[in-house]
Each structure stands twice: as structure tokens, then as C-alpha cells.
Structure 1
Amino acid sequence: METSSDPTYLLPDYSKLSDSQFTQTLLTSTSTIINQDNLIEVLNQKDIFIFIRQLTQLLNRLYYSKLQHEQWSYYYNLGMTEGIWNGRVSKKMADANSMCYTYGRSKHLIKQRLDKHKLQYEKAQQTLDEHMKNTPSNIGMDNIINMIHNSIEKDQYQLRLELERRKTMLRLDAEEHRLIETFYELKPRQTEIKSAKIIWKAIHEQQNIIDEIAIFKKWLEVHAQASSYTFQDVQLPKINHMFISLSFQGPTSSAEHVAEQTIAKAEQTVQYYNKIINNEKNNLQCTRSHHKNVYLLDQIINIISQREHNMKQRRDYELLGKVANIFNQTTLTHAGIQVNMQSNSTP
């Protein structure tokens, strides 16, 4: 489940930076705080440099612990005020209705995590306080801390976005289950259940291909200079199949041209699913004239439409997580390769 993955892959680790990289990171945060020449002079003093580097990592962990405590406090308060803890249906039910079969956490687990991150925050604060006792007397700590704070705020931006995304995902997952439950409580006819399942299945498949198109376009941006394409770093089964098929149809075409054709074909698939969705909606409307309870039919159609909106909104937020995960990690990997190449070529 998306919300159970570890967000620490988005947490910067300053201990892995070289001295020059760390210095450059701080220099980018000094424009309005401290003169860069003065900062370089300070950082050239080895004992001060080590102190500031350790301080940065300690503040980084402190801010992270605070974010996590706030995150689990949100989950706990959401459960207490709105009853959103965790939900589950059978996998058979989930597959039949194109939904996630589980969401959220139990009250007990949320309380455990809340206590855990509270303790981590307190320990991080204590460690920071101990470190600050060794502050060199010849530096202005207010400016230094503000500079470090700005740097960490910038570097943890994607992390904060991801945590906010997870909050939204929890609400959307809970809404998915509520809408499905409400739909079946209306006791729809078998024909209406069949139409609903067809619509939701088509939306699910449509969103899959929409996600692949978005990721593929982003991937093409990252690999704009490539003369040939392989998708080893991303999972795009439908796009990959289309790309290979089109490549064999026109072996003399450039990779860029085949990519354009692939996107066009994928977008046609999106429209194909639109037709399925609209046809089933029309089928439901056509039963109005001989339906015994038109008000009930309207309720059923409304719930189906609400679910459609929720599914699309949920997948939009899920896509944000996928893109951040794939391309943040890809960028870091490529940066690491470049650094290694540079260091290996140094005489």
C-alpha cells in the first residue's frame, strides 16, 4: 500500500556529501543571511567545519522527527474526530470493484507510531542540545543556524510534499470504501451493479494508461538526448508493448518518432475507455423510463459518478508519488555516477 512505504528516501543525508558538496549546499543558502566570503573563511577552519556539518545533520533529523510526529498526530486526530482509522474488504470484493482492499492503520498502531516519533524527537532535541554545548566561541550561531535551517527547509521540500500527499491519500482511500459501501446499501439491481463495475473497471484501466503516459513523457524529458530508449528504470508495461510493436512496424524510424507514435496510440486507448464509460452511463440512463424507482436510480447514478471522481482524484495523487519516487531516485543515481566519474578522473 502506498502509505506504508518508507518516506526516508526523500530525506537528505548530509553525511554522504563530500566536504566540497556540503560547503556548496550551505553557500546556496547564504544570499541574505551571511556574506559568502565570510562563510568560506569560517568553513575553512576544520573544527568549525566539523561542528557545523554535525549540527546540520542533527537539525535535519530533528526536523524529520518533528514532521513524522505531526504526521501521525494528524492520523490520530483524524481517527478520533472522523472515525477514519483503517478499513478492509476481501481481495475478491476489491478486484470486482476496482478498489484498494485496505487502507489506513489501526488505532493501536497509530498510537505506537505517535509515541515512537515523539520519543525520537525528544532524543534528537537532547542530542542537539548536547552538541550546542560545544559551540565554538568565535562564530555567530544565529546566522549559521538560520542558514542551515533554510538549507534543510529547501532540501526537505519534497519530503513535506510527500507527507501531505499521504494525508490526502488516506482520506481518498477511506472515501473509496465509503462510496462502495453506500452503493451496495442502495440495493442496486444486478444490471446496475454490472454497469457500475464496467465503468469503474474502465476508469481503473484508463487511469493506468494515463499514469504510464505521464511517466513516459517525464522519462523522455530526462532522457531527451538519448538516441535509443530502454525502460529498465521504470515499469511501463503498456507503453513498452506499444513502443516495441511500433518499432518493428517501422524499423527505420527514429526513437523520438516512435515515442511520439507511442504516446498518440496510448492516448487513443484513453479515448477507447472513455467510450466504454459513456456507453455504460447511457445504458443506465436508458432504464429510467421503465424503472420502478427513478429517485433510487438517480441515487445509484450519483454514487457511481462520485466514485468516478474520487478514483480519478486518488490516482492523480498516487501518480505524484510515483513520479517523485522514480525521478528523484533516478536523478540521485545519475548524480552519483557523475560524481564518481569526476573523482576517478582526478589525477
Structure 2
Amino acid sequence: MKHPMKFSAAALACALAVGSPFVAEPAQAQTRATATSTLRVTGFDVEQVDRVEPGAELNFTLWGTPGAAVVLQIDGGRRTVRLDETTAGRYQGSYVVSRGDRIVPESRVHANLRRDNRVATATLGEALQSGWPSPVAASSGIPEIQSVKVTREAGRPRVDALRYTVYGTPGGQASVRLQGSQPRNIVLDEVRPGEYQGTYVLPQGAWVDTNQPLVAQLRLGNRTASNTVADAYAGLRLMARADRDSCRDCATVQAVNEVVVDGDGRVLGTVAGGVLGAVVGSQFGKGDGRTAAGVAGAVGGALLGREIQKRHNQRTQYEVVVRMDDGTQRTVVYAEPPNLRVGDPVRLSGETLERR
């Protein structure tokens, strides 16, 4: 808790400029109040909390003219706060944040010190939550971007997951502009005061134009700061457009099908599709015994024996359908179940597929 401080009207204006723990209202309004009386506020303080959330207790102290009534209004709060005069010229009171409140760490707090028909006003010059800057300083200054950083997110070796970080003025809205096959704005979250982060996972086949500068923006109120970083991707091993264009053998697994083929290698159907019935139906009409016997009499025993032999030699194989990076589709056949799944990035090497 801070001790009482006594300032003249000129000193109060100077305190606002240097970031005092309390801020008086504009000089014109203050002049009107002091012209008719000695009513004034000399100090305004809050016990900052670790986190502004339901149940948090905000304790306020105001110093000023004795014998007055003091009422506070918190932006986002549903109730006013009345401060009691505990000693001459010292007023204290508390506000417990409820679930219905919309109070945030940088919410402004306004105080009215009233006696008779005269009022002196002041605005709290510090945030309600520790670690946050003064709400007055944040709202009155121009937003500033101090630095921009891009890193690859760990734990995702098979995809390009980019984490963007912007450091600058707290309490704003930050974003970065991604250039490449899919240009877009990526909005960042303020994870700590003045630190904004966001992660973007590039879709399969997408690329980032690392030759283009990265543009970051930070908006605060109706003002926007912009920062262009020419070498933001320096040191990152990303697959640029030229690399993807040169990777003619790169592909993505679209499907893995288990099929049955006959002795000549012709596909008879899928394993679960009633393969034998399909074979009989396609080779011998409707597949009933009388039709098969009639055909057998017409084509002779040699043909029937050959068809029976083909069915006897039927086997299961695995077809992996891939889409090449140039948009074409290929199918690779395996005799044994391949260790591949839909969505896997692969490279075509001869008649087999290799993981990338």
C-alpha cells in the first residue's frame, strides 16, 4: 500500500506524463474543480492481484480532501465501489470480481470524490493485475513492434509447423502475413503481456515463399504498427517452392486397397466383396450350376479346366494409390501389406514407395 502523496495541479499533470501510479482527469476538468474549492485527489492505489478472475478481491485506497464521499467505477464491472474514510483524507474499499463481470487486467478505474455539490475525479494509473502495463499508457501510446521471430515447432518432423512470435506493446491484436502457395493472415494470441504467438501447420503440398519478407502487424485501438522482416525464415529448413517443383517423385498416399487377382493377374474384387461369386458371375453368366454346365459343354473341358486353375491360383495383393505433387495419380502394387497409411508423404522410387 502506498503512502499518501500531496501534489499541486501542475504536479499532477507532470505525474501523468511520467507514469505515476494514479492519473488525474484532463487539466481543464481539474481546473474547474479546484477553481471553486480545495476539493482534490492526491493519491489513488490498488493492491494488484496475480490474476483477474471471478473471486479475486481488488482492494483500493484513495487519498484526498477529508469529509467527502468516494465512489469508484471499474470498466466491465456491474457494480460501483464505495470507499469508506478510514482516517482523515484516506478512503478504502474492496470489489470482488464476479462471473457476470467483464473486468480485464487493463480495465480502467474511475474515482469520484464528492462533497456537497462539488466533485473531483481521477483515473487509476496502474493495471489491476501484476505484470501488466498502465492502461492509460497502453491506450494513449502508439503501438510498437519490437521484434518478430519464426521457429519450427518441435515434435512434428513430417510436416512444416511454423510458430510465429511477435513482441511489442501489450493489449493489442497481432497478426503476420504468410506468403506462398496459400497466402493468408495468421492471427496471434497474447500469451504474456506484449508477447503474441500462433502456430500454422502447412497443408500437404503447400509451400512458403521464404524469399518474400514477413510482414507483422500490431493493432492497438485505432492505430496499427507494421514491421517487415526480410530474413525471418533464415536458418529454417523449409521446403520452398523450387524444392517442391523439383521433387517430381514426391506424392501423398490417397488409398490402400486389398484386392484379389486370378492366375493371370486380373483383379477379381476386394477381399470383402464376395470374390468367388463375382468370378463365377462374370465368367459364366449368372453363376448358377446349369449355366456353368452349358458353357462347359460349349467351350470344352480344356477351357473349363483353365478357368478353374485360374481361380485356384487366385491371390491377395495390395494396391497403394498415390497422388503425385504435380496432380497426377499412380498405383503401386505390393505382394505383402505395406507399412503405409492414407495421408503419408512418400517418394516414388522405381516400383516402390519410400517415406519422406
> Normalised by the size of structure 1, how large is the TM-score?
0.27
Higher relative helix content:
1
Which is greater in Rg? Answer: 2
